[in-house]
Chains A and B, each alone.
Chain A
Amino acid sequence: MSEKDIIMQTELETPVESTAEEVVEEITEPVQEEKVVEPLTDWSKIDEMERQLELSKVTIRKKSRIGMRFRRIFGNTVGQVILTVLSILWVVPLFYLIVQSFRKEPGAWSPTFFPQEWTLDNYKRLFTETEFPRWYGNTLLIAVCSCLITTLFVLAVAYAFSRVKFKARKPIMNVMLILGMFPGFMSMTAVYFLLKILLPDNYQSHLSLIIVYSAGAAMSYYVAKGFFDTVPKSLDEAARIDGASRFRTFFKVILPLSKSIIIYTILISFVAPWCDYIFVSYIMAGVPDIGMYTVSLGMYKWLEREMIQQYFTTFCAAAVIVATPITILFMFLQKYYVQGVTGGAVKG
């Protein structure tokens, strides 16, 4: 049983009649002891300690245990209510979209929230009568390719900024930060003409899109750099003394420790091209072959005035299909968002 657990238990076993001050003492004392011997890198424990300290601060302020309990219940209730309302507001449109995708009645607008008749025809139609499977394939290809390239770029740039000291480091970081403040679509026209120069015969292609999505990706190195900054530099130094090149250090030592940031970067850089509409819409504008489209561009076509009546429910079904992989990805990988990985790297 770790010391943390003991503390937790102490807290639980505290008799109700003991005063708040006693509780505080029991909680804080072992916490301070723990500070001396526990690793600084085990963030979950640090968080736990902070929580405990925060808790003890709160307890100090309270005169009696009853008043404290009342306030806590009241605060929790208010919080829960607000959160519930917010989450309903958040989920309703999504839920509407999902149920509409199972609607049998045609037309864009339905007088009822739930369909009067349920069907899977919309999905069937999606894969048999439309170009959707090709769009889906296109999007997947573009997203996977640019995701791989982007991830590599972002991690490499972030690592370089975190570890390599060179003169232009600060200026470049600042320039990137400032450039990142401008919305991406401001560069639309420029990107369009640059692509025309770069790929004169083939600028309205998936390759163009991959280039557009991955070329500037390194700009968003900030989060990854922040992560690498928390990985002890002595690991790099140890690897350097062990004879490893920067390349080997990055791939053999740092990356295996950076699972969470790699997954984060992959998710982010997958979602961006997967959901993008703006860049596709003008790069692919006027392409005669509808099959070249990505899902967002193709589906948007269905929302045009002359199409919407016919395609709205199909659109909803497509939206569900598009959202599914991302949702699954997030569901399985979200724990990496918060997981600290350097446990045991340094003193503990």
Chain B
Amino acid sequence: MASLSLKHIFKVYDGKVKAVNDFCMDIEDKEFIVFVGPSGCGKSTTLRMIAGLEEITAGELRIDDEIVNDFEPKDRNIAMVFQNYALYPHMSVYENMAFALRTAHEKKEVIHEKVMEAAAILGITEYLERKPKALSGGQRQRVALGRAIVRNPKVFLLDEPLSNLDAKLRAAMRSEISRLHERLGTTFIYVTHDQVEAMTMGTRIVVMKDGFVQQIDTPVNLYKYPDNVFVAGFIGTPQMNFFDGTVIKEGDDVTFNLDCGASVGMKYVQADKVPVKYMDGNHKVVFGIRPDDVRVKNDTNYDDGSWAPAKAVVSVVEVLGGETLIYANLNLNTPDAEEGAIIIKASPDTIVRRGDVLDIEISRRKFHVFDKETEMSIRKRIPEASYIRANVEDGKLTFEGQAFEMPSAVKCDNATDVETVIPISALTLGAGAGKANVQWVENVEGKNLYFLKVGDLTMFSLEEGEARFKAGDIVDFDIDFTKVGIEALGVAPINLTNTLDGTFTKEKDKSRKFYNFYMNVGTAKLIPTVPACEKIFACKGSKIFRTPLEYIFDASVVTVTPHEEGATDVLTGTVSEIRDYGFVRYATIDTEGQKVVAAYDGAVGDQVDLHVPAESIVIKDKSIDIIIA
């Protein structure tokens, strides 16, 4: 029974090969977490780091709020089941299960009791005297599980435990492990490359690729709201259908023009989560639709306007009994081409043959859109921002009949029809100069996502807690200009994350015989915290003194005071710019040739000291780009 916390976990081999990149996750007690991804994605490495079989290069691993980075596996209170079971071949099943307890010098009676209990749970009581050699694969697997159970661990780690079993047995063991999880009430972490195992067993799934976490979510959410093309393609069988294309918005109509020649049309409301900036007919997008969300047109089908008609020519038909998979192509001239290929999950009664031209319908609700270049979803469950075309006129931002006074910090020339990005967190409801019509409210994991009809467009706002407004309400809204970006006019949201280049140095204490360590930024010296030093040396050793570093801290942690001569542990600088947003004033301060942003109420030209609490500074190794403390 344990919670785990992985903070910025990195695994670097030979100082250059990054096997695991910035793995961050909080695992709650009794969760069943599945790491899934193609081979070589770093899932097993992560598991082995949790087990303590691999050293953690950088980052912090906590089990039950205790940092266990330097703990031996046995002290972490974990148990692991290996892919090849790793049973001790010369010991009987009983001895295999008792080995850990014997090592811990448990009493004989206790050992016997625990082994018998575990054996009963797993139904291997009658094999206890056998050697692993005399067991079948499934039985060995259970012995391996039993060996883990007797230790009564806080966390169960399973490394592809079913990959050596045949398909039928695998399905049986799958449910057995799920039941075991239920029964033991322990935290499970399970590694697999099989997405079916992941989907059926996990309470949450971590999809990984090339050492990077792609998405962490529940099985249903991964299926419904994949973050990128990789996750969309990896989860779900048959795979999601992808089509390259463009989107265009004409009045209230939105049309996806696919490169294969087909097009999918819909109303703007149905695609309003896709940022308008993509709807110009130029941006390359990837349109994705699951085989389940395409249907063969049928007179009895109920149509409420959420199905877009299309035509496809049949290439191959797979009759699976319970359902029929139709491999077709949206380009009627090229049934076998890769471009335009679409898989349709149809009812088993569907009788089609190769070459048939089918009338199909594509869901206007359950489609996915990705940016072709970044491969990231642009129809996210919670949109990142509202993208609008606005005018700037004498310090006022106007769009769709709304007008907002711009603070003096956002200085720009007059312009018309410029793209303006209003992040979802910058739009607050309840007060302000804007008026919007609440179209509807979507509940997303306990948060309320408001769809606001502003003139012709849909804008978004996110609030936690009880929904304050309901569909149909007219609400006032305000815009937080610190976060607004107008690229064409050079207006960028203020970057409150300060990054300073620096180094790490040691100096011998004059009077005594020990070293003082400093975080250097130019000539300024900041005193690091002891845990930070420990992490730094654990990760880099003495190489740290030759490594270029980045010190990262948030503007909110910085305290600015008037300059004092002889102050230590501070950064000294001159205010070069003040940005006044009305409710807050941010100063840009030049220090040691670099810039720091912090809230400050003084004037340009002031000499100031910046106090940055050492515990809130994140230290990053610039040479291999990993966070080390």
Chains A and B belong together in one complex = yes
Residues of chain A at the chain B interface (Cβ within 8 Å)? 37, 232, 234-235, 237-244, 248, 252-253, 256-257, 341-348
Chain A residues with CB below 8 A from B52, complex form = 240-241
Shortest Cβ distance from A235 into B: residue: B86
CB distance from A255 to the nearest CB of B (A): 9
Contact among A235, A241, A253, A342 with B78 in the assembled complex (CB-CB below 8 Å):
A241
Interface of chain B, helix or strand or loop or mixed? loop
CA distance A110 to B38 in the complex (A): 78
Contact among A238, A248, A253 with B82 in the assembled complex (CB-CB below 8 Å):
A238
Please judge, given known A-B contacts A241-B73, A241-B78, A242-B103, whether A345 and B86 are in contact too, CB under 8 Å: yes
Q: Is the CB of A344 within 8 A of B137?
A: no
CA distance A253 to B89 in the complex (A): 9
Please judge, given known A-B contacts A344-B132, A347-B84, whether A241 and B74 are in contact too, CB under 8 Å: yes
CB distance from A144 to the nearest CB of B (A): 26
CA distance A337 to B177 in the complex (A): 41
CA distance A342 to B86 in the complex (A): 11
Q: Is the CB of B88 within 8 A of A235?
A: yes
Chain B residues with CB below 8 A from A240, complex form = 52-53, 72-74
CB distance from A76 to the nearest CB of B (A): 35
Shortest Cβ distance from B159 into A: residue: A234
CB distance from A4 to the nearest CB of B (A): 15
CA distance A234 to B140 in the complex (A): 15
Please judge, given known A-B contacts A344-B133, A344-B134, A345-B132, whether A242 and B147 are in contact too, CB under 8 Å: yes
User: Chain B 103-147, CB within 8 Å of chain A: the 1/0 string?
Assistant: 110000000000000000000000000011111010010000001
Q: Is the CB of B103 within 8 A of A248?
A: yes
Known A-B contacts: A234-B83, A243-B103. Give 10 more (CB < 8 A). A238-B82, A239-B88, A241-B78, A248-B103, A342-B89, A344-B132, A344-B133, A346-B84, A346-B85, A347-B83
Contact among B51, B80, B90, B164 with A347 in the assembled complex (CB-CB below 8 Å):
B164
What are 12 A-B pairs at a CB distance below 8 A?
Answer: A235-B86, A237-B80, A237-B82, A238-B87, A241-B53, A241-B80, A243-B104, A253-B88, A345-B86, A346-B85, A347-B84, A347-B140
Q: Is the CB of A241 within 8 A of B164?
A: no
Chain A residues with CB below 8 A from B565, complex form = none
For B85, B140, B164, the residue with the greatest tally of chain A CB atoms inside 10 Å of its CB is B85
Q: Is the CB of A341 within 8 A of B103?
A: no
B54-105 at interface with A (beta carbon < 8 Å): 72-74, 78-80, 82-90, 99-100, 103-104
Q: Is the CB of B131 within 8 A of A244?
A: no
Chain A residues with CB below 8 A from B84, complex form = 232, 234, 345-347
Interface contacts (Cβ under 8 Å), in number, total 86
CA distance A241 to B99 in the complex (A): 11
CB distance from B168 to the nearest CB of A (A): 13
- Asked whether any CB of chain A lies closer than 8 Å to the CB of B166, the reply is yes
- Asked whether any CB of chain A lies closer than 8 Å to the CB of B43, the reply is no
Residues of chain B at the chain A interface (Cβ within 8 Å)? 51-53, 72-74, 78-80, 82-90, 99-100, 103-104, 131-135, 137, 140, 147, 151, 164, 166
CA distance A243 to B79 in the complex (A): 10
Chain B residues with CB below 8 A from A252, complex form = 99
Q: Is the CB of A244 within 8 A of B133?
A: no
Q: Is the CB of B137 within 8 A of A348?
A: yes
Chain B residues with CB below 8 A from A347, complex form = 83-85, 137, 140, 164
Q: Is the CB of B100 within 8 A of A345?
A: no
Contact among A232, A242, A341, A346 with B99 in the assembled complex (CB-CB below 8 Å):
A242
For A234, A253, A344, the residue with the greatest tally of chain B CB atoms inside 10 Å of its CB is A344
Q: Is the CB of A239 within 8 A of B53?
A: no
Shortest Cβ distance from B165 into A: residue: A347
Shortest Cβ distance from B81 into A: residue: A238
Contact among B51, B78, B89, B104 with A345 in the assembled complex (CB-CB below 8 Å):
B89
Q: Is the CB of B74 within 8 A of A341?
A: no
Q: Is the CB of B86 within 8 A of A242?
A: no
Chain A residues with CB below 8 A from B72, complex form = 240
Contact among A37, A239, A344 with B89 in the assembled complex (CB-CB below 8 Å):
A344
Please judge, given known A-B contacts A241-B78, A243-B104, whether A343 and B86 are in contact too, CB under 8 Å: no
Shortest Cβ distance from B79 into A: residue: A241
CA distance A243 to B140 in the complex (A): 21
Q: Is the CB of B137 within 8 A of A244?
A: no
CA distance A348 to B135 in the complex (A): 9
Shortest Cβ distance from A255 into B: residue: B90
Chain A residues with CB below 8 A from B151, complex form = 242
CB distance from A293 to the nearest CB of B (A): 43
Shortest Cβ distance from A342 into B: residue: B89
Chain B residues with CB below 8 A from A234, complex form = 82-84, 86
Chain B residues with CB below 8 A from A256, complex form = 90
CB distance from B5 to the nearest CB of A (A): 21
CA distance A239 to B53 in the complex (A): 11
Q: Is the CB of B86 within 8 A of A346?
A: yes
Chain A residues with CB below 8 A from B135, complex form = 344
Q: Is the CB of A344 within 8 A of B87?
A: yes
CA distance A37 to B100 in the complex (A): 30
Q: Is the CB of B90 within 8 A of A257?
A: yes
Q: Is the CB of A341 within 8 A of B89?
A: yes
Shortest Cβ distance from A344 into B: residue: B133
CA distance A232 to B164 in the complex (A): 16
CB distance from B491 to the nearest CB of A (A): 54
CB distance from A244 to the nearest CB of B (A): 5
Please judge, given known A-B contacts A237-B53, A242-B151, whether A345 and B73 are in contact too, CB under 8 Å: no
CA distance A143 to B431 in the complex (A): 96
For B84, B131, B133, the residue with the greatest tally of chain A CB atoms inside 10 Å of its CB is B84
CB distance from A182 to the nearest CB of B (A): 33
Chain B residues with CB below 8 A from A345, complex form = 84, 86-89, 132
Q: Is the CB of B86 within 8 A of A237?
A: yes
Chain B residues with CB below 8 A from A242, complex form = 74, 99-100, 103, 147, 151
For B79, B90, B99, the residue with the greatest tally of chain A CB atoms inside 10 Å of its CB is B90
CA distance A243 to B151 in the complex (A): 10
CA distance A195 to B142 in the complex (A): 58
Chain A residues with CB below 8 A from B51, complex form = 237, 241
Please judge, given known A-B contacts A243-B100, A248-B103, A348-B133, whether A238 and B90 are in contact too, CB under 8 Å: no
Shortest Cβ distance from A240 into B: residue: B73
Q: Is the CB of A257 within 8 A of B103?
A: no
CA distance A272 to B313 in the complex (A): 79
CB distance from B217 to the nearest CB of A (A): 29
Chain B residues with CB below 8 A from A37, complex form = 166
CA distance A243 to B82 in the complex (A): 16
Q: Is the CB of A238 within 8 A of B80?
A: yes
Shortest Cβ distance from A242 into B: residue: B100
Chain B residues with CB below 8 A from A232, complex form = 84, 86
CA distance A240 to B76 in the complex (A): 12
| Pairs of residues from A and B, 6 with the lowest C-beta to C-beta distance, nearest first | A344-B133, A243-B74, A242-B100, A346-B84, A234-B86, A238-B86
CA distance A37 to B166 in the complex (A): 8
CB distance from A346 to the nearest CB of B (A): 4
CA distance A346 to B86 in the complex (A): 6
Q: Is the CB of A344 within 8 A of B131?
A: yes
CA distance A37 to B137 in the complex (A): 10
Shortest Cβ distance from A37 into B: residue: B166
Chain B residues with CB below 8 A from A342, complex form = 89
For A235, A243, A256, A342, the residue with the greatest tally of chain B CB atoms inside 10 Å of its CB is A243
CB distance from B435 to the nearest CB of A (A): 62
Chain A residues with CB below 8 A from B88, complex form = 235, 238-239, 253, 257, 345
CA distance A347 to B166 in the complex (A): 12
Chain B residues with CB below 8 A from A238, complex form = 80, 82, 86-88, 147
CB distance from B134 to the nearest CB of A (A): 7
CA distance A257 to B132 in the complex (A): 13
Shortest Cβ distance from A253 into B: residue: B88
CA distance A256 to B79 in the complex (A): 23
CA distance A253 to B88 in the complex (A): 7
Shortest Cβ distance from B82 into A: residue: A234
Please judge, given known A-B contacts A237-B53, A240-B74, whether A343 and B85 are in contact too, CB under 8 Å: no
Q: Is the CB of B89 within 8 A of A343?
A: yes
CB distance from A147 to the nearest CB of B (A): 24
CB distance from B145 to the nearest CB of A (A): 13
